[in-house]
Amino acid sequence: MAKRYLTTPIYYVNAEPHIGHAYTNLATDTLARYYRLKGDEVFFLTGTDEHGEKVEHTAKEQGQEPQNFVDGVVKTFQQLWDDLELTHSDFIRTTDQRHVKAVQQIFQQLYDQGDIYLDTYEGPYCIHCEAYWTAGRLDEEDNCPDCHREVKYISEESYFFRLTKYLPELQKYLEENPDFVRPEGRYNEVLKLLDQGVEDLSISRTKFSWGIPVPFDTEHVVYVWFDALLNYLSGIGYPGAEFSQWWPPEIQIIGKDILRFHAVFWPCMLMALDLDLPRRIHAHGWWTLRGDKISKSLGNVVDPRDLADRYGKDALRYFLLKRIPFGADGTLSDQDIVEVINGDLANNLGNLVNRSLTMVKKFADGVIPQQPEQATDNDLSNLAQKIRAEFIDEMENASFDRALKAIFQLVAETNRWLQEKAPWKLNRETDGEQLDFILYNICESINEVAYLIEPVMPDSSAQIRQRLGLTEKNKAPLNERSWGELQGGEKITIGQPLFPRIDR
């Protein structure tokens, strides 16, 4: 059984979670469910990034001790993931002792092996992004090139990580593994970053105290990004036995804003630790609201819970993953969500299920006909097998929109097939066999759709299967699946519409 380790970024706790964070986690949850559907063993890690100057500031502003403050905000993240029914295996906090211990041990090791040295850092620092810049990289107004906020000039003694020592190896790795960073545009961006030149990384600070103390020099706390990236190791028990079972990650999902940290700093840190690099880093785009990135600082946060309550969890997942390619930016609007729900979900999928089950009730007494001999080889079953293969290909690339498009092609074709075969024109007395053939295949096609949408819409998938008289027990893994799971004889239930149309 293959083992897959999947990660999300860990979120800053200076603010409560919003739809942008939920997007990353829902996408990763979808992949986790996909691999489980294949029968793989999955470790899906998420968590919170709790140290640093920004969090210390926010805690102070609120008149709280940092630890108290973070303990409060972390609960809102954990609660949200529970409400959205995410299937993560663990939740790592950078204030967990297991993490602090791992970071200190790694810092010591890299120092002992000569990859960390003491020097002075002088230059601009963006507290919002917790990022060091060189003067030449600032924007036209000398602000942070990423978030365009004012930077602070710092001059302090700092430990540095000998990043430059590993750059040639990284360059070579990237050339040999063009799939390491996805999508392609982001891969090219990384190459460009390397072309522009990268320096050794300052990895400790002395001017504030909310961080992990450097083990051999407690005047210093570890730079928050150096600390945070190591969650991917500490979260699965580095350096213990459990860790080696899961390492390296199958895929690390991030937003495009944190590409540099994950595709330049992180691999170099891993090389220094003599660990394999993740198989893939996939950077997705941003959700914007009327042109602005959704973020706390812009005051336009959208609470994922509101959207889930209003439209349903499955519909929200479907919208976010179908609407834009995983990598592109998207705009969030109620109008678009309603359009997708009414179109794809209510008119196409919901309608097909309802219509087909009603026919089974009417023409076969509510019992799915026995599997006919031709059931496994006809135009509909052949198309379904082809679509299953396409779905697998797309999911392997985290191309959720295309994977869903494939499934919905099967929905459309099944609707068309039903229309063409027109079972309502047949007579049970004289055309019984043909009638059963059609009803069986329509039901099996719906079953195929229900099976494939499970990673994206788990509740709807279970609902449809239940209506077909199936249970989640004994479900064959994806790679072993073939047309014909329905045996015939299952009693169907029609039920309420799966996706009621929404009036604008």
Amino acid at site 219 = E
What would you measure as the largest C-alpha separation in the chain, in angstroms?
91
Check binding of 278 to ligand MSP (CB under 6 A).
no
Check binding of 21 to ligand MSP (CB under 6 A).
yes
Nearest to 228 by CA among 74, 45, 94: 94
User: What contacts 459, CB < 8 A, 6 or more positions away?
Assistant: 313, 314
Stretch that binds ligand MSP, among 103-111, 254-262, 413-421, 436-444 (CB under 6 A): 254-262
Check binding of 115 to ligand MSP (CB under 6 A).
no
Check binding of 133 to ligand MSP (CB under 6 A).
no
Options 162, 260, 293, 361; binder of ligand MSP; rule CB under 6 A: 293
Tell me the sheet residues that pair with 45.
7, 90
Stretch that binds ligand MSP, among 106-114, 252-260, 414-422, 427-435 (CB under 6 A): 252-260
Options 4, 5, 6, 11; binder of ligand MSP; rule CB under 6 A: 11
Check binding of 91 to ligand MSP (CB under 6 A).
no
> CB 39 → ligand MSP: shortest distance, Å?
28
Check binding of 446 to ligand MSP (CB under 6 A).
no
Check binding of 258 to ligand MSP (CB under 6 A).
yes
Burial status of residue 87 (CB atoms within 10 A of its CB: 0-12, 13-18, 19 or more) = middle
Check binding of 229 to ligand MSP (CB under 6 A).
yes
Cα(228)–Cα(129) distance, integer angstroms: 13
Under DSSP, the state recorded for 8 is E
Options 287, 400, 437, 451; binder of ligand MSP; rule CB under 6 A: 287
Stretch that binds ligand MSP, among 73-81, 238-246, 286-294, 451-459 (CB under 6 A): 286-294
> CB 258 → ligand MSP: shortest distance, Å?
4
> Which tokens sit at 479?
């790679």
Q: 365: phi > 0 → left, psi -120 to 50 → alpha, else beta; which?
A: left
User: What contacts 320, CB < 8 A, 6 or more positions away?
Assistant: 23, 26, 27, 287, 330
> CB 257 → ligand MSP: shortest distance, Å?
5
Task: Render 424-449 in DSSP notation, one character per residue.
Answer: GG--HHHHHHHHHHHHHHHHHHHHHH
Q: How far apart are the first and last CA of the chain?
A: 47
Check binding of 316 to ligand MSP (CB under 6 A).
no
Burial status of residue 65 (CB atoms within 10 A of its CB: 0-12, 13-18, 19 or more) = exposed
What would the x/- binding string for ligand MSP be over residues 230 to 249, using CB under 6 A? -x------------------
Check binding of 409 to ligand MSP (CB under 6 A).
no
Cα(47)–Cα(91) distance, integer angstroms: 5
**String of b and e for 378-412 (b: at least 16 CB within 10 Å)?**
bebbebbbebbebbbebbebbbbbbbbbbbbebbe
Q: Smaller CB distance to ligand MSP: residue 228 or 346?
A: 228
Options 42, 55, 228, 486; binder of ligand MSP; rule CB under 6 A: 228
Options 100, 126, 170, 294; binder of ligand MSP; rule CB under 6 A: 294
Q: Smaller CB distance to ligand MSP: residue 24 or 87?
A: 24
Place of tokens 């998420």: 46
Q: What is the dihedral angle through the alpha carbons of 31, 32, 34, 37, rounded to the nearest 10 degrees?
A: 180
Q: Smaller CB distance to ligand MSP: residue 21 or 33?
A: 21
Q: Smaller CB distance to ligand MSP: residue 263 or 492?
A: 263
- By residue count, the chain amounts to 504
Check binding of 10 to ligand MSP (CB under 6 A).
yes
Check binding of 162 to ligand MSP (CB under 6 A).
no
Cα(281)–Cα(10) distance, integer angstroms: 15
Give the count of residues interacting with ligand MSP (CB under 6 A).
21
Check binding of 27 to ligand MSP (CB under 6 A).
no
Cα(446)–Cα(184) distance, integer angstroms: 35
> Which tokens sit at 88?
């993560």
Nearest to 142 by CA among 121, 123, 129, 128: 123
What would the x/- binding string for ligand MSP be over residues 35 to 74, using CB under 6 A? --------------x-------------------------
Check binding of 321 to ligand MSP (CB under 6 A).
no
Options 257, 401, 431, 485; binder of ligand MSP; rule CB under 6 A: 257
Residues at the interface with ligand MSP (CB under 6 A): 9-12, 20-21, 23-24, 49, 228-229, 231, 254-255, 257-258, 286-287, 293-295
